Structures are given as structure tokens and as C-alpha cells.
Amino acid sequence: MKFEIEYSPDAEDHFRALTARQRATVLDEIDGQLQHQPDVETRNRKPMRPNPVAPWELRIGDLRVYYDIEYEPVKRVLIRAVGIKTRNIVRIGGEEIQL
């Protein structure tokens, strides 16, 4: 069964900090990787240590998608943040975030 994909208002704002090509890449990867089994750890999908952003991370090159999974009442993936990682620095919506 497919998971619904929902974007938080913050995540929609974070998309504005990306180029059109980056936005297209992120949206394609979200549709391809998170609609089926978003809770299965893969090379690019990992659970994160406790942090204030989200419990799961999807890596797409230097782009990062942080998301949460809900099973009740509907199976859905909530995209909480989208950012760019350069070395050890993650920028979400143009702001540096410590994860």
C-alpha cells in the first residue's frame, strides 16, 4: 500500500532556497523512494539520532530531505525539512542547522 506524501509549510518554504533543478530532483526522489516502504533503511534512507528536525533522512547527493512517518489513521510521510549539506554543515531554508 502506498504512503501519502505531505509537505509541511516549513518544507514548502525550504524549497524556495533551492534551484529549479534541485527542486525537480528532490520531488522525483521523494516520489520514487518514499511512497513505498519509507521506514526501510537503505543506503540513502536512514533513521537519525534524536534531533529537533525529524527522525528520518533521505540523502540525494548533497541534498537532504528530513521526514517523519505516520501509520494511523492513514499511512503517510510528512516532509518536515529540505536542505543542502556541505561537508558537516546543513543549510535548511538558507539557515545553518546543527543536527
Owner of C-alpha cell 512517518: 69
Question: Coil, strand, or helix at residue 27?
Answer: helix
Question: How is residue 71 written as a grid cell?
Answer: 501509520
As beta bridge partners, residue 76 has: 4, 70
**Which one-letter DSSP state was computed for residue 45?**
E
* pTM for the full predicted model: 0.93
Structural domain spans, the chain: 4-97
Task: Name the pLDDT band for 83 (thresholds 50, 70, 90).
Answer: very high
Side-chain half-sphere exposure of 46, counting CA atoms within 13 A: 8
CATH code for 4-97?
A: 3.30.2310.20
pLDDT of residue 31: 94
